[in-house]
């Protein structure tokens, strides 16, 4: 039974009790316990997609506020303007000064309109790159937070060069001379996600998703039926568990059974612990070693095994032609 179904049952019980003047407090308590204590532990890929898209799912700035001792947000790409869908700045976490970059959604219609539902435009990715270069210059490690359906696909985005902005980020982030740690906190959609996800270590929240295309898009294109999105979600292997087994991400940060929005402080504490422990591990390495390992990581994507011999990653095969 999903969170939505449990909440619906609770509402139905309350309505029934009020209508017939019944005392069903024990039943309500039992239903609430199911909601909070593991009832949702075995979710389908589609149910995890729904949790990743939950309107109250915590945002980048909410995590920064809870993890940091203090933080300062920075604005603008120094070319065109500022993009509210992409936030960034400097945060002191556990005594370490980090540069943070992340997609930012809203919690209501007005805020989502201002934030463009977390779909960044070219100036957002150029702001991210500006802050990344600033971090490199001053020796600050970088943490990024991914939560977007994808880069904004509108006319203004194309006019200002969205493909070039993302491509440049991929190139520049791959050679940044400072540690980069990424966490997928909600949806990780296509190029809009990887524009700030080229990192030394990538983590996912338990109910986040990460994919080259949305389940609806996959269903429309490959299955010829958008109504088969739930089936597509299972075929795409987009959950944290799937991607950990495929070697795309390095770890999974646990959430409460009903999702990160039900206990933000718990999730923020786990995320802070993961970021700081990962940073301590990376900071003990020479930057040359970090760059080599980052390159090796990127080149290994798409690795496969054939009956004759172990195959190489797609990019390694491509550049060997």
For the stretch 214-258, pLDDT in tens is 999 999 998 888 889 999 999 999 999 999 999 999 999 999 878
Mean pLDDT, residues 148-162: 94
Domain boundaries, the chain: 3-36, 45-284
Residue 23 has phi, psi (to 5 degrees) of: -100, 100
Q: Would you state the pLDDT for residue 30? A: 67
Q: What percent of the chain has pLDDT over 90?
A: 74
Residue range 276-291: mean pLDDT, rounded: 96
What's the mean pLDDT in 21-48?
Answer: 69
More confident residue, 47 or 30: 47
Task: Check residue 40 and give its pLDDT.
Answer: 44
The confidence score (pLDDT) of residue 308 equals 55
Q: Is pLDDT larger for residue 4 or for residue 286?
A: 286
User: Which superfamily, per CATH, for 45-284?
Assistant: 2-enoyl-CoA Hydratase; Chain A, domain 1 (3.90.226.10)
198 Cβ partners below 8 Å, 6+ apart? 169, 170, 173, 174, 180, 182, 294, 298
Kindly tell me if the per-residue pLDDT of 5 is higher than 90: no
Nearest in space to 158 (alpha carbons), one of 126, 125, 122: 122
Lowest mean pLDDT across 39-48, 61-70, 210-219: 39-48
């Amino acid at each position: 039974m999903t969170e939505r179904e449990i909440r619906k049952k609770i509402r139905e019980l309350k309505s029934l009790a009020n209508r017939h003047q019944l005392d069903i407090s024990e039943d309500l308590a039992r239903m609430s316990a199911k909601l909070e204590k593991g009832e949702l532990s075995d979710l389908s890929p589609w149910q995890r997609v729904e949790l990743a898209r939950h309107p109250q799912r915590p945002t980048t700035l909410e995590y920064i506020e809870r993890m940091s001792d203090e933080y300062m947000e920075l604005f603008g790409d120094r070319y065109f303007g500022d993009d509210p869908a992409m936030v960034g700045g400097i945060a002191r976490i556990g005594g370490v000064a980090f540069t943070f970059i992340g997609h930012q959604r809203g919690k209501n219609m007005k805020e989502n309109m201002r934030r463009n539902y977390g779909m960044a435009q070219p100036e957002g990715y150029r702001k991210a790159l500006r802050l990344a270069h600033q971090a490199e210059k001053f020796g600050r490690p970088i943490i990024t937070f991914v939560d977007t359906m994808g880069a904004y696909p509108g006319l203004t985005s194309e006019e200002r060069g969205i493909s070039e902005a993302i491509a440049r980020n991929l190139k520049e982030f791959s050679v940044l001379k400072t540690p980069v740690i990424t966490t997928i906190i909600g949806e990780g959609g296509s190029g809009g996600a990887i524009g700030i996800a080229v990192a030394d270590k990538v983590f996912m929240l338990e109910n986040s998703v990460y994919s080259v295309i949305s389940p609806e898009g996959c269903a429309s294109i490959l299955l010829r039926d958008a109504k088969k999105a739930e089936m597509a979600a299972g075929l795409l292997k987009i959950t944290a568990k799937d991607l950990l087994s495929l070697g795309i991400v390095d770890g999974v940060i646990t959430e409460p059974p009903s999702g990160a929005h039900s206990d933000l402080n718990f999730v923020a504490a786990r995320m802070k612990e993961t970021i700081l422990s990962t940073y301590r591990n990376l900071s003990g390495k020479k930057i040359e070693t970090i760059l080599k390992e980052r390159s090796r990581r990127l080149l290994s994507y798409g690795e496969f095994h054939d009956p004759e011999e172990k195959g190489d990653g797609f990019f390694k095969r491509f550049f060997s032609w």
